[in-house]
Amino acid sequence: MRVTVFGSARVGPDTDEYRDARRLGRMLAERGDMIVSGGYGGIMEAVSQGAHEVGGQVVGVTVAPWIGRLEPNRFLSEEKSARTLFERLEALIASDALVALPGGAGTLGEVALAWNLRQMELMAPIPIVLVGDRWQHMVEAFRDHLIVDDHDLALLEIVNTIEGVVPALDLHTSVSPQWFG
């Protein structure tokens, strides 16, 4: 399975978020999943490091305009450089599953794009798994402040901890990721 992991670039190795992402990378790689991330630091580096430590394959989708501004993390098996941020987003969501760890505006944008494409049936029905209390609060805010219904919200699966990710992924049958947009 090709699993894209989204998350903040602003966390360091001494944080719980980094340690959790590293553990998730190991767990996914140990079951044979390929990890895809934005390829830079923070959670992207942590999930890459965890997968790398157990011999997993890690693809980082970087973006050409950031060359010289940001460096790809050293744990990538392969770097794919997108020409634009939009091309990068398209590459990131072309996976069998999407997992969102804590993040900021960029992570929220990635999740929102994937969620909206799922709502409009413009991408394959792959799981979008959101990890932790922060995402639970965000989804409650979506329910309270957006014009969405239970069907829309059901496209987002919330798990409390990193340990809940693999069982959530196992509930979904594999479909070929497709982009219809």
pLDDT for position 172: 84
At 122-173, the pLDDT tens digits run 999 999 999 999 999 999 999 999 999 999 999 999 999 999 999 999 998 6
Whole-model pTM: value is: 0.95
How far is the C-alpha of 39 from the C-alpha of 43, rounded, in Å? Answer: 9
Domain positions in the chain are 2-168
| Secondary structure of residue 169 in the 3-state scheme | helix
- The continuous run of DSSP H or E covering 156 comes out as strand 156-159
- The continuous run of DSSP H or E covering 102 comes out as none
Among candidate residues 53, 68, 59, the one with its CA nearest the CA of residue 94? 59
pLDDT for position 100: 98
Q: Contact at 8 Å (CB) between 128 and 160? A: no
Options 3.40.50.2300, 3.40.50.450, 1.10.260.40, 3.40.50.300; which CATH number does 2-168 get?
A: 3.40.50.450
At 57-106, the pLDDT tens digits run 999 999 999 999 999 999 999 999 999 999 999 999 999 999 999 999 99
